[in-house]
Amino acid sequence: MKSYLDLLRTRGVARIMSAQLLARFPNGMLSLAYLIHIEHIAHSYGAAGLVLAATSIGQAVAGPLTSRWMGAWGMRKVLILTISVCTVTIGTIALAPALPVPIYMVLGLISGLSTPPVQPAVRTIYPKMVNSTQLTPLFSLDASAQEVIWVAGPVITTFVATQISTVVAILVALVFLVGGGLWFVLSPEVGRVRIPRSRRALGAVLAKPPVLLATVTGFLLIGACSAIEAGVVSAFGEKSAESGIVLAIFSLGSLAGGLLLGHVPIGPWALARRIFIVFAGMALAAASVNVWWLAATLLIAGVGIAPALAVMFGIVSSSVRFSETAEAYGWVGTGQLIGAALGSAGAGFMIDRFAAPGAFWVAASLAFLGFVIPTIFRKAAPDLRGRDASPIPDTEPVQTQPS
């Protein structure tokens, strides 16, 4: 723990990590808030699902695109533009009188397209804030800390939406977006780092084996996690205390795993080993829907999640030029978003046919593939044991400027 405290004492690290977590907090709130809000208006979960699908498509398209724009226009300009557009569209969804579902779908698509690229931005900034030996632990700490989003976000949204109103629930998420986004944009570190303009075509970074490996594996890992969430809710009901407790333990397992394994050196087998922990826990979870069994097995599964994400961040960072880092992380994020959508959809289909255990079968299958792929293609993952995980320097000098 001392090393993590030392990291947080490093100039600007605690501030930039807190700001980006606050700015990204709506990621754990808006999907659920949209779901409840649109269902109340249209009286149809199918209609709400269409709006969520449109939002997810927008986010998936925006990931690599807006990340790349940061190299052309600068981080602050892109962040301010996306925050502004996203604020208007989310506010419209919350405050406009009842609209036809296709209009809500268009608004959802625009809000997804304008999702601020905070995560790619901060992943790009981190290597410029700490020395090479601190970078992997910092990625691990960040991956662990983001579990707060997925633990507290849905709880806040459910409480506000059911006890006050769905409009207020969306507006609370909007306050986090604007407040955290402005805090992040105004942080000195965002002004000091300039991403060089990438000279390669959009998507060319996917030709890098580590980036493609992280994108595909992230798709499978997050898809498995989404299927687990759907299965837990199906097993106990969306308003039951058991659902919240089990999912909180799942996230706390990830938090603990990230902190415990953050300093383990990243070798070619690191990603496969961490995802095997996830697979083992999810496979065991499929055996019973007893609340204590699920709590124990998903605690095991959670231990591998944040460490696996940290490995993905590390192998991507060490394998691309600094000018390509934001776009690379954008593609990784897009893979995770698609995985989340398809994992939830696949779980829903299996729940209709086989009840809650069907979702756990989907999750275990995706996690198994997530283990097999980095095992087969382990040579695509760089060996970072005793090696700097920072991005490859560009041939042109990277400028810094006063904030």
CATH assignment of the domain containing 335: 1.20.1250.20
- Quick one: 158 and 222 in the same domain? no
- Domain membership flag for residue 133: yes
| Tens-digit pLDDT profile for residues 32-54 | 788 778 888 888 777 877 888 88
What is the sign, positive or negative, of the torsion defined by CA atoms of 121, 123, 127, 130? positive
- Tell me the pLDDT band of 196, cut-offs 50, 70 and 90: confident
Percent of the chain surpassing pLDDT 70: 95
Looking at residues 342-352, what average pLDDT do you find? 80
Of 132 and 366, more confident: 366
Strand partners, 400: 193
CB 84 within 8 A of CB 73: no
- Domain membership flag for residue 365: yes
Among residues 194, 213, 229, the one where a domain terminates is 194
**Average per-residue pLDDT in the chain?**
86
- Quick one: 99 and 238 in the same domain? no
- Quick one: 336 and 238 in the same domain? yes
- Quick one: 180 and 242 in the same domain? no
- Quick one: 205 and 274 in the same domain? yes
- Domain membership flag for residue 398: no
Looking at residues 164-188, what average pLDDT do you find? 94
pLDDT value of position 398: 46
Q: How many CB atoms sit inside 10 A of residue 359's CB?
A: 30
**Gyration radius of the chain over CA positions:** 20
Nearest to 326 by CA among 112, 134, 62, 44: 62
- Domain membership flag for residue 15: yes
Helix axes 75-95, 118-125, angle to 10 degrees: 150
| Tens-digit pLDDT profile for residues 226-284 | 888 878 878 886 566 787 788 888 888 988 888 888 778 888 999 999 999 999 999 99
- Quick one: 383 and 303 in the same domain? yes
- Domain membership flag for residue 395: no
- From the number of C-beta atoms within 10 Å of its C-beta (0-12, 13-18, 19+), residue 210 rates as buried
- Quick one: 267 and 303 in the same domain? yes
- Quick one: 205 and 187 in the same domain? no
- Quick one: 205 and 189 in the same domain? no
- Quick one: 190 and 219 in the same domain? no
- Quick one: 32 and 81 in the same domain? yes
- Quick one: 215 and 186 in the same domain? no
* Stated pTM of the model: 0.81
Token duo for residue 64? 């690599």
Token duo for residue 348? 């829903």
Number of domains in the chain: 2
- Domain membership flag for residue 400: no
| Tens-digit pLDDT profile for residues 112-164 | 999 999 988 998 898 888 887 788 788 888 877 777 786 677 778 777 887 88
Residues spanned by the domain of 176: 1-141+150-194
What is the sign, positive or negative, of the torsion defined by CA atoms of 166, 170, 173, 179? negative
User: How far does Cα 78 stand from its chain's mean position?
Assistant: 20
Spatial neighbors of 232 by CB under 8 A, at least 6 apart, are 243, 246, 247, 250, 294, 298, 356
